[in-house]
Amino acid sequence: MMLSAPLIVLLAIGAPPSQAEGAAKAAAAVAPFLGDEVAAVAHLDLAKLNVQTFVRSVVGTLADEEDVSRITKTAGDWVEALRKAGAKDLFLLLDPADVPGVPVLVVPLSDGADDRAVAKILSDSLQRGGLGRGAASETIRGAIVSGSPKALARIRDAKPTARPEIALALAGGEAAIRIAFVPSTTQRRAIEESMPNLPPELGGAPITTLSRGLRWAALAIAADPKPALHIIVQAEDADTAKAILTLAQDAFKLLARNAQADPGLAELIKALSQTTTPQIQGDRISFDANLEKTAALVAVPIRKAREAARRSQCINNLKQIGLAMHNYHAAYNTFPPAYSATKDGKPLLSWRVHILPYLEQQSLYKQFKLDEPWDSANNKALISRMPPMLACPSGSRKLAGEGKTTYLTPRGADTIFPGKTGIRLQEITDGTSNTIMVIEANDDSAVTWTKPDDWEIPTPFTTKGLLGHHPGGTNAGFADGSVRFLRDTILPRNFQSLLTRDGGEVISADDL
């Protein structure tokens, strides 16, 4: 199930502890909307949420600063709008009948609440989050309920079902955010039918240890005095609680063994095992964790995976650009010039504009007036239309939104892009595999993509302005269409040799 951007954030946001009776009231408020098959309920105390503090302290370890700022503003504005409309509590209901699709949101109306404003805020947030154009809101039993038409009809026509275990899970803690997981009878039976026994690696015991033995689980998150995660698992009895804990520990050990081939994941699992210590109190299992520390640990492999994906996308972008360059050469018998120019040599438009037809951007290309400069009234209006393959995924989204790119050609007399004259393949006498065509610079060197600006090779030579997007180096597209990673330890003289097309140098792969 997909959630709207504010909700994704808020399901992980903590706040100062509330009183237990307040939690009990919240459980009673949502009770009229709990059908037979609701499997999970999240409760958010809107009056006490501290969006900025929590996003900064926890989400900040998982996201870039640009993302953190965007999420903080989006979620903060959303919560503030609900508060101003008089909303005090927000519930999210998970019913398998709604998956995939729009989640059900419930806001009980208190005295003075603006029901129309609350309804609009909820409907708009679901639709903006890409959760379906059919999302709507209406007043049902004293609350604003938002969801798909099918879900609204189900809730409107159904008689409230007593779900005391959900009430216990929601009312049993003091955190301002609490999430209760309570499988229904039907869901438990479906689990048993699809998996009668546990996997052999976990002992092969009947699945009923979990499907019948686990009554409910609750997850509470608090931000003060420090972000903390508190989990309670309610078992059928004390013996079942011990069995569930043993099973969880065996599963964790199995995960650790399977992760040995991945040092980063193995280290994460080891660190997580040292930060949490489950406790059994009769028929309950509980454990606490420092949420900020846990998030920081989890962030390490997430960041590595994200960077690997971004680097892969960056490589693909450069390959597309390189292919477009060669297709241009096939059409005109030269690579595109660094820029087009008037008869008297005045620069007009960048090479990036002239390869648009070979990037499947023919329609955009036709909208340019090629005999006008990049900042003419017509051409300037097209800056915001920068094709996505001209934006490095590790670069600033703000700059990309402004139509700025960090994919630049090296500019100099002996490069492939000396100026207004296009270079032919035959003129690259150093060999196409030894000559850089396009370099990935950092955000400080970003240029407007249509403007005839690129990376002027500095004298004395330095790589300043190039490194920074990817740890350890930068990507470069070569004249043979390949893309290679240039390490930040590359010798300056070797780097310079790769920039010229006819210097006579030969550089091995080990020198990159």
Cα–Cα dist 37/35, whole Å: 6
Cα–Cα dist 410/47, whole Å: 55
Cα–Cα dist 372/451, whole Å: 12
Using alpha carbons only, how large is the chain's radius of gyration in Å? Answer: 29
**397 neighbors 65 (Cβ within 8 angstroms):** no
| Confidence category of residue 511, pLDDT binned at 50, 70, 90 | low
In the predicted model, what is the mean pLDDT of residues 370-386? 96
Pick from 6, 503, 14, 480: nearest CA to 291: 14
15 vs 309, higher pLDDT:
309
Residues 6+ apart with CB under 8 A from 492: 461, 462, 463
Residues 241-254: tens digit of each pLDDT: 999 988 888 887 88
| Confidence category of residue 267, pLDDT binned at 50, 70, 90 | low
| pLDDT for residue 227 | 67
| Confidence category of residue 292, pLDDT binned at 50, 70, 90 | low
Residues 104-147: tens digit of each pLDDT: 999 999 888 899 999 898 888 877 655 556 678 899 998 999 98
Q: What angle do CA 94, 100, 101 make, to 5 degrees?
A: 80
| pLDDT for residue 282 | 92
| pLDDT for residue 428 | 94
- Can you list the positions of beta strands (E) in 327-446? 339-341, 347-350, 404-405, 407-408, 410-411, 436-440
DSSP, residue by residue, 143-161: EEEEE-HHHHHHHHHSPP-
